[in-house]
Copies of this chain bind each other. A is one copy, B any other.
Amino acid sequence: RERAVAAPGPSAPGAAPPSAQPPPPPFGGSADRRAQRPGPGGAGGGQGPPGGPWEGRESFGRPGADTTEPGGLRRADNTPGRVVQSPPETGRLPWSTGYAEVINAGKSRHNEDQACCEVVYVEGRRSVSGAPREPSPSQQGLCFYYWGLFDGHAGGGAAEMASRLLHRHIREQLKDLVEILQDPSPPPLCLSSTPGTPGSSDPSHLVGPQSCWPSQKEVTHESLVVGAIENAFQLMDEQLAQEQHGHQVEGGCCALVVIYLLGKVYVANAGDSRAIIVRNGEIIPMSREFTPETERQRLQLLGFLKPELLGGEFTHLEFPRRVQSKELGQRMLYRDQNMTGWAYKKIELEDLRFPLVCGEGKKARVMATIGVTRGLGDHNLKVCSSSLPIKPFLSCFPEVRVYDLTQYEHCPDDVLVLGTDGLWDVTSDCEVAATVDRVLSTYEPNDPSRYTALAQALVLGARGTPRDRGWRLPNNKLGSGDDISVFIIPLGGPGSYS
């Protein structure tokens, strides 16, 4: 991602050092990219245990990359410097998923975006009922389809590691649920820990009158999958913490992940990537962005409740501009953590500290350093010229939205579009929908290469073409100088494409 971590300014207390230096080279480099194409039955890269030895460190997470070509991806245009690339064989990714990417305009030597597309098989851990497991056709395991975009900052290590391992954490979390999710009855509230002893999921086990709690809550299968994804994000972040404790892995990343399981699409987002569904020309937002602006109140509340996290350097109050010492005693507009409006307050000494949240739009920052408030990694990120950690203000938890694929008859032009902020910084949802219509209408509905062509068109459209002063869009506005990655997931025919 671009500008996620601020360059240090003389008057700001800090900015992260990594952006001022070239990022550490990604493991292996681009010539070493290895295919992660899923094999039959969906073995793919999804079989290794997460948390185990991180074998295959030198490989990349880009989907469908080929070892025979330099970079593993195929060029989609001939622009020197920033070539749009896609997997060499279109239509080979699950569901005929389209993918394209382009590197940034010089910010780093390597593309800090990572992507992953997998079919993952989940074997049940053990019988829930405790009885010896008898494999029946319906309970032999579960398969989920997985797409992930990881937009790295301050080093590419976290994005690479997450692109390789997050789906394995999800698989681990789902192992306990294999039988439960395939059983149409409501999930048991309690499981026996000892095989052979059935858990007490019976409401008659309730003891005594409980005026405010007379019954048990209904928990859906869907909410178990959501919980599994949420916990997988947390465990991935903890694994990154262990790696970063020894400084083996640098940086952090936004994570936007899609899972298709048992008829439903789960979109989990932690960061400022974005997912939208374009269905019959209509736009359905499937994520929202987490930035210092959208999460201002959460950040301020944390600073208010835990002032030690501000280290005496920051104030949790927001001001519309930097307060100057000569304004002591004057009255200035401010917002506290409970406010959405503004009011005047008398400036006191504490208000001269740098505000926890400042700036607007792409320049908004937490602690003058980072422009995104959710994601994985960043365990070593500190305020510049300070030992103050920023991680306590960042959340690794995604927001998960669910889309029931069975509730609507999708046609081949209905797609789920995933993009890193490089796409969305210069392209509106409506422009994406227009491109979906324009590109797909030029291909036959059953041509599997149409989704790759669409991904390439979106990446090209956001990058622009090199002209006298930078990369320009047709309207002469600046194109995105950031890494840009796009997945196009067709919703019209999972069965026929997979």
Q: List residues of A whose CB falls within 8 A of some B CB.
A: 6-12, 15, 173, 176, 187, 189-193, 199-200, 203, 205-219, 222-231, 234, 302, 305-306, 319-322, 324, 326-327, 329-333, 335, 338-344, 346-347, 358-360, 363-365, 368, 395, 397, 399-400
Contact = CB atoms under 8 A, between A and B. Distances in A.
A322 B213 contact: yes
A335 to B, nearest CB: 7
Given A190-B327, A333-B219, A9 B321 contact: no
Given A7-B211, A327-B190, A346-B193, A321 B206 contact: yes
Nearest to A366: B212
A124 B219 CA distance: 55
Contact of A342 (B212, B219, B321): B219
A10 B206 CA distance: 13
B227 A330 contact: no
B206 A331 contact: no
A281 to B, nearest CB: 24
Contacts of A226: 339-342
A215 to B, nearest CB: 7
B331 A199 contact: yes
Nearest to A360: B217
A212 B14 CA distance: 10
A190 B11 contact: no
Given A225-B341, A340-B230, A342-B224, A363 B213 contact: yes
A12 B213 contact: yes
Contact of A211 (B8, B329, B339, B399): B8
Nearest to A214: B363
Contacts of A364: 212
A12 B212 CA distance: 8
21 contacts: A15-B212, A189-B332, A190-B332, A191-B332, A193-B329, A200-B327, A206-B321, A212-B358, A213-B358, A216-B320, A217-B320, A217-B321, A218-B320, A219-B342, A224-B341, A225-B341, A228-B341, A229-B341, A230-B343, A305-B305, A305-B306
Given A9-B208, A213-B322, A214-B359, 17 more contacts: A9-B211, A10-B208, A12-B210, A187-B333, A190-B331, A203-B321, A206-B322, A207-B322, A212-B365, A213-B358, A217-B320, A217-B321, A219-B320, A223-B341, A223-B342, A226-B339, A227-B335
